[in-house]
Chain A
């Protein structure tokens, strides 16, 4: 049974002013994630302590390396905070896109493990265009690179949607298969295949200058004591924000968004309401693939300017699952979660380089955040923020879980449900 509710006095609705209600809603929304993050850091500290390290030094490294705070003392005063912040923005950018690419299908009851492969295909297509038409002017080439990347990702995601809708093939299997196919295709292209730079396996030539997204900081001088060129934060993050807004509008303000959520809640009910489940599943995966494919395109245009095997070996598409879950499948949550994961990712090497604590501590912390979000330990241990006290019974179910538990919601009693072709 659920734990008994905290016996605080229920507030009378009439006495509560709107700001208080908003504050409480905000608290309810972010209380669990923030509590989970704190909980994870405590567990991480225990692990560092047990293994003979110094958690203060380690965490100072994570703050300094991730968001440029507390860069002081013997260990960290040599760090340039602005550079760390810039790197965090760089790593957050693809995580936002792919986080959205995982979250949208979650809303429709689909588990997209395939953001990785969709990103890979997006990067391949974007790089191919950027290299092949390198001489085109930027106002044509840059949009072309991004659009082609988006389309390639959409196609890769669309395969999943079509197979799910017309044959019932489980998206977990199809996305895993498509990830591997995309990865090996990339390896082929860059290891003796047509896109390999001569004599340099695992990387391609550079895309044309016109295909490159501008950096925020440009020039040849120095800034914060470092050459300006090292600040790699690029305008792709603005595209990521725009796509997040698009995601929000799509889900909350359009008929399609309603259909996606309805299908995610209950396919049978959605069908009775006149929604085409098949169409919704396919469109959802097309859009999700487009998000992830755009991530690949933006990374090519904004950061690497060339195709490398990172587009298959980097774990962006898998980290995206954690980002989507931590961000409660909501746009603003995903942005925040992406920045958190990016900051941790950037900070790990700083912590290892300067405090000699293995950067894999970061993975442990990320995992514990997820555990505690999923299990809502905080509720069980009854550590509640004041704003959480008045949560009515039944509303304090794990906020993430509700969207995901419908995942396997296919009814054996209706085998023809999505298999029947029109």
Chain B
């Protein structure tokens, strides 16, 4: 009984939901990138590496410029650069996209850790100054609303950006001409080509978009949620985003729901000081939940038909 009371108390703690939303949006950004990329037919398991590159770039640039906006832009570009490699290798060279993705992840870990050691002579970067961090917005008056105020109106600026991007990408994919083209290229590239759509351009653009979004997530992680760079600091979040994307059946909204589940898991673990349960056992919850939901409710995950297949004009 006491445990149930503790759980109920935990559920009405604003901090729980505040962290849930923050962690959820951190996963949402690369997941949105994955959705765009895979909808165009390019498998992307490299969000992890793109995010990590973004995180490194953000901290390195913040150290030099002290400006969060420049740092974020560079981080976005750095994620995009990694995506260009993935795009060239998998579109131009028609390489296996999973191998390329695995390679990007290893490469990103290696190059960021290598440069981190080299630039700072094994000392690591100093924590980023508050003025160079992405700010938390305390929206006046609204943030005083009980319970909901802290959750929705006392968040990092990137949380709002992420929610905006969620709506924008959902709209773009399913309500615009561009979205139709992306989906056509991912479902049936030959037909799209016949219809006059440039398959390569669409795919390049989509993969690079995934890199930009992942780079933004890296900046959010390194100079928003935290203020440091550690080797390998993304710590598998890119893979969780990948799982969220598949869980969400390659849709932005669905992915967001999955991201929130993982975010809630993170948050419950962080807020369990009132619960007398092993932190490590609690940490298993979101993953078990996902497995159960996946097995019982969501069922078969069907990727875009041409996902993972390099396009060769005239083939078929």
Direct contact of A and B (CB under 8 A): yes
Given A169-B295, A170-B246, answer yes or no on A407-B98 (Cβ-Cβ < 8 Å): yes
- Say yes or no: is A322 at the interface (Cβ < 8 Å to chain B): yes
A383 at the interface (CB under 8 A from B): no
Is B12 located at the chain interface by the 8 A CB criterion?
A: no
Are the CB atoms of A184 and B280 closer together than 8 Å? yes
CA distance A386 to B296 in the complex (A): 55
The answer to whether A188 and B280 have CB atoms under 8 Å apart is: yes
A230 at the interface (CB under 8 A from B): no
Q: A-facing mask of B87-112, CB < 8 A → 1, else 0?
A: 00110011110111011111101110
| Chain A contacts with B in 156-177, Cβ cutoff 8 A | 163, 167-170, 172-174, 176-177
- In the complex, B309 has a CB within 8 A of chain A: yes
Please, what's the 1-or-0 string for B220-252, where 1 marks a CB less than 8 Å from any CB in chain A? Answer: 000000000001000010011011001100000
Find B302's partner among A181, A192, A374, A412 (CB 8 Å cutoff). A412
The answer to whether A364 and B278 touch across the interface, beta carbons within 8 angstroms, is no
Given A169-B298, A370-B103, also A358-B281 (CB < 8 A): no
User: Would B308 and A363 count as touching, CB distance under 8 A?
Assistant: no
Q: How far is the CB of A379 from chain B (nearest CB, A)?
A: 9
Question: Whole-angstrom distance between the alpha carbons of A370 and B97 in the complex?
Answer: 11
Is B113 positioned at the interface, with any CB of A under 8 Å from its CB?
A: yes
How far is the CB of A177 from the nearest CB of chain B, in Å?
4
Cβ-defined partner of B106 (8 Å) among A370, A376, A412: A370
By size class, the interface of chain A is 35 or more
Interface string of B39-50 (1 = CB under 8 A from A): 000010100000
Question: Which residue of chain A has the shortest Cβ distance to B283 in the bound complex?
Answer: A184
Kindly provide the distance from the CB of A36 to the nearest chain B CB, expressed in whole angstroms. Answer: 11
**How many Å lie between the Cα of A159 and that of B106 in the bound state?**
28
Q: Which of B1-9, B22-30, B143-151, B286-294 contacts A (4 or more CB under 8 A)?
A: B286-294
- With a cutoff of 8 Å between Cβ atoms, the chain A residues found around residue B43 in the complex are 407-408
In the complex, are the beta carbons of A360 and B117 less than 8 A apart? yes
Q: How far does the alpha carbon of A260 sit from the alpha carbon of B300 in the complex, in Å?
A: 21
* A-B pair number, CB within 8 angstroms: 191
Of B95, B107, B239, B247, the contact of A368 (CB 8 Å cutoff): B107
Q: Which residue of B lies closest to A190 (CB)?
A: B280
Quick check: A410 and B100 within 8 Å, CB to CB? no
* Residues of the B chain whose Cβ atoms lie less than 8 Å from the Cβ of A1: 312-313
Residue of A174, A178, A192 contacting most chain B CB atoms (<10 Å):
A174
Say yes or no: B107 contacts A364, CB within 8 Å.
Answer: yes
Contact, CB under 8 Å: B287 / A177: yes
- Cβ contact of B103, chosen from A361, A374, A398, A405, cutoff 8 A: A374
Q: Which of A43-57 contact B (CB under 8 A)?
A: 47, 51-52
Contact for A188 among B103, B281, B296, CB less than 8 A: B281
A-B residue pairs in contact (CB < 8 Å), sample of 21: A172-B45, A173-B242, A174-B294, A177-B243, A184-B281, A184-B287, A193-B280, A360-B111, A361-B114, A362-B110, A363-B106, A367-B103, A374-B96, A375-B89, A375-B100, A400-B96, A404-B96, A407-B43, A408-B303, A412-B302, A418-B300
- Chain A contacts to B: CB under 8 angstroms: 1, 47, 51-52, 111, 113, 163, 167-170, 172-174, 176-178, 180-181, 184-185, 187-188, 191-193, 321-322, 325, 358, 360-368, 370-371, 373-377, 380, 398, 400-401, 404-405, 407-408, 410-412, 415, 418-419
Apart from the given pairs A367-B106, A371-B85, 13 other A-B contacts in the complex at a CB distance below 8 Å: A1-B312, A173-B290, A177-B243, A177-B294, A358-B114, A358-B117, A364-B110, A370-B99, A371-B95, A375-B95, A401-B94, A405-B308, A412-B305
